[in-house]
Structure 1
């Protein structure tokens, strides 16, 4: 496998608490008390799509409050790069792999989280929400990343952590690699390959 395309949230960066706790507080302030586990089921897709799936009526109003809430320090303090990720990305790059990211994040979120945590230099291409018409589980983002990498489906793996990532990979006809280092164990999808540590990705590169 030569081309590695990565999801960001829940894959390279632990950002779930930042997004979900901020949303939970916004909804609570509006009189809607939703369990964390219910909200977390939408983690990994664009914010607007998440609110639609949750049946939120005032989507624009909630979005206007949710985004600024994630900027507050208590939520920002929960964000971290998963252990071993930077080392693995560096080794993949140095071994000749082509690396890209394809994320549901908007450009300002990419700059805040990916650039801000020192991940951007590892990637030659970055696809964000503004670059595509349809987010995951549609394959648009993966297909655009492959086009920019000049990659073929047979030589490409998309590394992610949710059913939306798995479905997007299937639609794009690429291998789906599960980022098992995040401590989660999926029950709603089956990965083509699971990586229990970031370094395990090097074995796929050599395969």
Structure 2
């Protein structure tokens, strides 16, 4: 049924939540001289980070400070259980794999190389390479075009509402990465995966 599977990165392939939230908390404290609990910053997950900083009035170049802050927590980042083995098994089937992420290209390259996941992906598209980021469908149209895959034969796997809305706008199937998603979002998705290896049952 599917000729290609596209993945989000943060919260889907890699557990980066703590590093992103902590990095943003530190940036917020440094900029506005106010410290808030980590849980109050969950709105910064999954979306267009550059647009978010601009809308909140952060100084120009704050994205680079945020990235440096995240790097301080790099030791907390790791692939979700089952991701490397599942990607390996999927690639062996011959299905095309790719990534559509709202991370910058430099972040994508560094983290995917670090965890030896990059070689699984034939195509990738990042935040600084599109004119409209997720939830706009542009990133998925790019993956479909590059892989020469009809959009209706693509499955996109993600953990946020941005990912779900992106897939629906593009006209491709969507599977929620339940291992990284919120409980509330699970109630709104028709296809929820509890473990990465469940992807293998979808292409049999």
> TM-score surpassing 0.5?
yes
SS of structure 1 residue aligned to 2:183: coil
Aligned counterpart, 2:77: 79
Aligned counterpart, 1:167: 165
The 8 Å contact of residues 48 and 59 in structure 1, kept in 2 or not, is answered as no
Displacement of 1:45 in angstroms is 1.5
- Partners of 2:175 and 2:65 lie apart in 1 by 34
Higher alpha-carbon deviation: 19-28 or 77-86 = 19-28
In structure 2, the CA distance between the partners of 1:92 and 1:188, relative to structure 1 (3 Å rule), is: closer
Q: Deviations over 1:120-168 (max 9, x none)?
A: 0111111112221110110110110011111112211110000000110
In structure 2, the CA distance between the partners of 1:124 and 1:105, relative to structure 1 (3 Å rule), is: same
SS of structure 1 residue aligned to 2:175: strand
In structure 2, the CA distance between the partners of 1:58 and 1:181, relative to structure 1 (3 Å rule), is: closer
The 8 Å contact of residues 43 and 50 in structure 1, kept in 2 or not, is answered as no
Aligned length: 202
- Partners of 1:147 and 1:118 lie apart in 2 by 25
Please give the TM-score of this superposition, normalised by the length of structure 2.
0.92
1:68 matches 2:68? yes
Please give the TM-score of this superposition, normalised by the length of structure 1.
0.90
Displacement of 1:189 in angstroms is 6.9
Aligned counterpart, 1:45: 47
Higher alpha-carbon deviation: 176-185 or 135-144 = 176-185
Alignment RMSD: 1.8
Hey, which bits of structure 1, 4+ residues long, moved more than 3 A?
A: 186-189
- Partners of 2:61 and 2:89 lie apart in 1 by 44
Higher alpha-carbon deviation: 111-120 or 57-66 = 57-66
Displacement of 1:43 in angstroms is 0.3
- Partners of 1:65 and 1:120 lie apart in 2 by 25
- Partners of 2:162 and 2:187 lie apart in 1 by 9
The 8 Å contact of residues 186 and 192 in structure 2, kept in 1 or not, is answered as no
1:18 matches 2:19? yes
Aligned counterpart, 1:117: 115
- Partners of 2:171 and 2:181 lie apart in 1 by 26
